[in-house]
Structure 1
Amino acid sequence: MGKYFYPIVGGLLLIASLFSLYYGIKAYQLGDLPENVEGYAHQSYHFLLVSQEIENPYWAKVYAGAKEAADRENIYIEYKGPVQTDIEEHLRILERGIAERVDGIITQGLNAEAFTPVINKAVEAGIPVITIDTDAPHSKRIAYVGTYNYRAGRQAGQEMIRLTGGTGKVGIVTGSLEATNMIERVQGFKDALAASPNLHIVAVESSNISRIYASEKTDQILRDHPDITALYGTSALDGPGMAEVVKRRGLSGKITILSFDDLEETLAYIKEGVITATVAQNPIRMGSESILLMKKLLEGKAIPTLNLTDTLILRKENLTEDRTTQSMENKSR
């Protein structure tokens, strides 16, 4: 017995170490498993929703809509995203979802060049992808759910013309200079302003989807262009960031602020008269619709390619308007 005892024990320890190493690597590759594994086992599908920023209040609304629909349909929804905007981390989360072989992926197509190959990889692996909030139309994604961002930008531009009478100098604070949805919102705004030659855009700065940076860039714009008469923000945190600076400088009511989204802080600034108006999207509807469409797809049903949620201009006089009736425009192409 003594002759073989140590070799056998050594061999068993080696095997145990190899198994530990293997599953450690797999756990790293696949990321965190669902917290409620027992509950997940009884759910029909496992969807991965990847946001631009996991703690962003706008994305909290998207997730709330997705979670409500998923719970109703007995679907497990895994919500992931970078703490701060980080395209590389976003792509790594998508790669882990592909490796984990989730049943469906719902994600932004933030940057066509970076996201298209990963979206295509998922679809080619048999995992359907629906883009949300920001489309990747040249990828193999199955459908898009969200705002028609160029049209929303034009809508914002037309509202700016109305608010300013078509004259003045405008500074833009945009969430990103690279994200497709932000680019489209700026371009639509510029194209609308082309109809008013006396309304000039004098600065375009990026907030990197950060309230702090939105404030810093607003301060910079006002220092560089003290004759600014209007500000336009294209992401949810830009409005509150701009408003904080304008209020601190004692310029409330003197500078027109047009923002995006209907965060509670944004609505409070509208009531206070600091923000003039905001382009309200429908993130809760985006979240719920993306879940329901993915479920239909996995059940073998045809779904529209474009599922466009409406936007609404909110001002102090219509803040109480019921936005749950905002319509959905469905198109196949």
Structure 2
Amino acid sequence: MTVGCGSSKQSKSSSAQTRPSVAYVTNGVAAFWVIAKSGVNQAGEDFDADVSVLMPSDISDQKRMIEDLITKGTDGFAVSPIDPDNQNELLNKAAKFAHVITHDGDAPNSDRECYIGMDNYLAGRMCGELVAQALPEGGKIALFIGRVEQDNARRRRQGLIDELLGRSEDSSRFDPPDAEIKEGKWHIVGTYTDQFDRVKGKANAEDAMSRHSDLAGMVGLFEYNPPLMLEAISQAGKLGKIQVIGFDEADETLQGIVDGHVYGTIVQNPYEYGYQSVRVLAGLSRGQTLAELEIPESGFLNIPATQIRRDNVDEFWTKKKQILGEK
């Protein structure tokens, strides 16, 4: 990586910049990130910062974006690492030239300065609670997710499994994604990954139904998974026969809750992810400390998840539309 064009983070912090440049790098392209962008733009106005939002298509695209930010001399950026274990070196190099924080998904072994997001393991357990409520007798369920390499994906999947199986809390636990899990009344037939390929995501749902005619539930752990699952289930004529539980707040998922085709979903607060990321990066660029910015000593600014069911979906959806300026 070429970094010679950037100036050091130390020189940036000591230069008393009046309008820092801040970037927000996502882990893909999704409606979820459009909400985050609203928070980024509002914080840019509130904290007098030049902001940009970058949505990569894959890990190589994300790497290129980070390198470009350093070359341009960006003061700081927030990133949701696609494959944190293999991106530590890149993030560590970047941290020498810019303020680097993570959001949504963490890279805890890197030199990032803090993480802004939810506890994905506990959110996974919250999702497990929804699955147990939707299927009190248990049964066969299939899990769907973009990729398990991401820290947030691994943690929320594990939290879900641990909650269903009645295990103690241990976010370091890891059940291999290629194995079936049979324990008690639960049979997790597999974890289907799609690498953010929507065609593959729908095909995965179709495959799960084809292989398991008695499938009782589907759980989508990324924002776009539940809508693809619903589409596949509808075309198979199994709406209402297979319980659907999701993550995030895609309109199709929320409509599914209203219509009774989705039991519930776990929502994050992407607006706050974007807003708080810019607030912290603008402050760091102006020489403030993490303590002054009210970041806990753990380096984790927790923005809790929420369970959405039929009894609170209308209120939540109204707030979402207000944030996006929709009617």
Indicate the SS of the match to 1:316: coil
User: Which residue of 149, 162, 166 maps to 1:178?
Assistant: 149
CA distance in 2, matches of 1:306, 1:204: 28
Task: Tell me whether 1:75 sits opposite 2:49 in the alignment.
Answer: yes
Which 4+ runs in 1 deviate beyond 4 A?
none
Structure 1 stretch 111-120 or stretch 240-249: which is displaced more? 111-120
Deviations 1:286-332 (A, max 9, x none): 100111111222233232210111111111221133597xxxxxxxx
Indicate the SS of the match to 1:183: helix
Indicate the SS of the match to 1:135: coil
| Greater relative contact order structure (CA < 8 Å, 6+ sep) | 2
Matched residue, 1:213 = 200
Identical-pair percentage: 26
Matched residue, 1:200 = 187
Indicate the SS of the match to 1:130: strand
| Structure 2 gap ranges (5+) | 7-16, 167-182, 320-327
Matched residue, 1:191 = 162
| Structure 1 gap ranges (5+) | 1-25, 31-41, 325-333
Task: Tell me whether 1:122 sits opposite 2:94 in the alignment.
Answer: yes
Matched residue, 2:276 = 289
Task: Tell me whether 1:148 sits opposite 2:109 in the alignment.
Answer: no
The alpha-carbon distance between structure 1 residues 43 and 271, as it changes in their structure 2 partners (threshold 3 A), is farther
Q: Retained in 2: the 8 A contact 1:175–1:207?
A: yes
Structure 1 stretch 100-109 or stretch 313-322: which is displaced more? 313-322
Aligned-residue offset at 1:211: 3.4
Once superposed, what is the RMSD of the aligned Cα atoms?
Answer: 2.1
The alpha-carbon distance between structure 1 residues 89 and 241, as it changes in their structure 2 partners (threshold 3 A), is same
Matched residue, 1:168 = 139
Indicate the SS of the match to 2:88: helix
Determine which structure has more spread, i.e. the larger CA radius of gyration: 1
Q: Retained in 1: the 8 A contact 2:20–2:285?
A: no
Matched residue, 2:24 = 49
Q: Retained in 1: the 8 A contact 2:79–2:101?
A: yes
CA distance in 2, matches of 1:138, 1:265: 36
User: Which residue of 271, 278, 294 maps to 2:265?
Assistant: 278
Q: Under a length normalisation based on structure 1, what TM-score does the superposition of the two structures give?
A: 0.80
- The number of aligned residues is 283
CA distance in 1, matches of 2:193, 2:18: 41
Amino acid at match of 2:39: G
Q: Retained in 2: the 8 A contact 1:43–1:76?
A: no
The alpha-carbon distance between structure 1 residues 166 and 291, as it changes in their structure 2 partners (threshold 3 A), is farther
Aligned-residue offset at 1:63: 1.2
Matched residue, 2:85 = 113
Amino acid at match of 1:87: I
Indicate the SS of the match to 1:317: coil
Matched residue, 1:301 = 288
Deviations 1:219-273 (A, max 9, x none): 0111111111001111000010001111121211111111110121211121122
User: Which residue of 259, 273, 281 maps to 2:246?
Assistant: 259
Matched residue, 1:66 = 40
Indicate the SS of the match to 2:253: helix
Aligned-residue offset at 1:207: 2.4
CA distance in 2, matches of 1:166, 1:146: 33
Indicate the SS of the match to 2:24: strand
Aligned-residue offset at 1:178: 1.7
Deviations 1:56-114 (A, max 9, x none): 111111111111111222211122232x3x11111111011111110001101221222
Indicate the SS of the match to 2:307: strand
Q: Retained in 1: the 8 A contact 2:21–2:74?
A: yes
Q: Retained in 1: the 8 A contact 2:130–2:263?
A: no
CA distance in 2, matches of 1:313, 1:193: 16
